[in-house]
């Protein structure tokens, strides 16, 4: 397994969670990482992405200001800190990685740009 997402769970509205993505890819520091989420009723949608060094990030409008993506290249980890969660955030969250983009461009948002995927972690927000 090259990407392993964890940290999901059940939280009340307004609560917080931090998702983690453990990456076993060689040269992790040369991969952009993204988080996506999917519900039974929707396709997988983009949540956030971060460039190699972490100096460039991108967020979906629905989570900007509430979620923060980060990474620790030394530990080969990526994170998604989520605050002020609502029922609309309930989904399976996936982390993904791609080496197709340099550190000087914004990390991609399109799902097809990512070639490594984790198995997903369930986040459930109760109202």
pLDDT score recorded for residue 102: 81
| Contact predicate 21/31, CB 8 Å | no
In sequence order, what DSSP letters do the residues of 64-121 get, joined into one string?
BTTEEEEEETTTTEEEEEE-S--GGG-EEEEEEEE-SS-TTSPPP--GGG--EE---E
114 pLDDT band, cuts 50/70/90, is: very high
Residues 62-103 pLDDT 10s: 999 999 999 999 999 999 999 999 999 999 999 999 998 888
- Residue of 71, 93, 84 whose CA lies nearest to 23: 71
96: CB partners within 8 A, 6+ apart:
3, 33, 34, 35, 36, 111, 114, 116, 117, 118
Report the pLDDT averaged over residues 43-48: 97
């Amino acid at each position: 397994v090259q990407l392993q997402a964890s940290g999901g769970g059940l939280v009340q509205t307004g609560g917080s969670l931090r998702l983690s993505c453990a990456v076993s890819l060689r040269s992790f520091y040369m991969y952009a990482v993204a988080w996506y989420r999917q519900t039974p009723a929707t396709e997988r949608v983009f949540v956030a992405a971060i460039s190699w060094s972490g100096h460039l990030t991108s967020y979906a409008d629905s989570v900007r200001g509430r979620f923060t993506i980060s990474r620790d290249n030394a530990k080969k980890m990526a994170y998604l800190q989520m605050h002020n969660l609502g029922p609309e955030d309930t989904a399976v969250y996936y982390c993904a990685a791609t080496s197709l983009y340099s550190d000087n461009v914004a990390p991609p948002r399109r799902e097809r740009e990512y070639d490594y995927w984790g198995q997903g972690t369930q986040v459930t927000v109760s109202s």
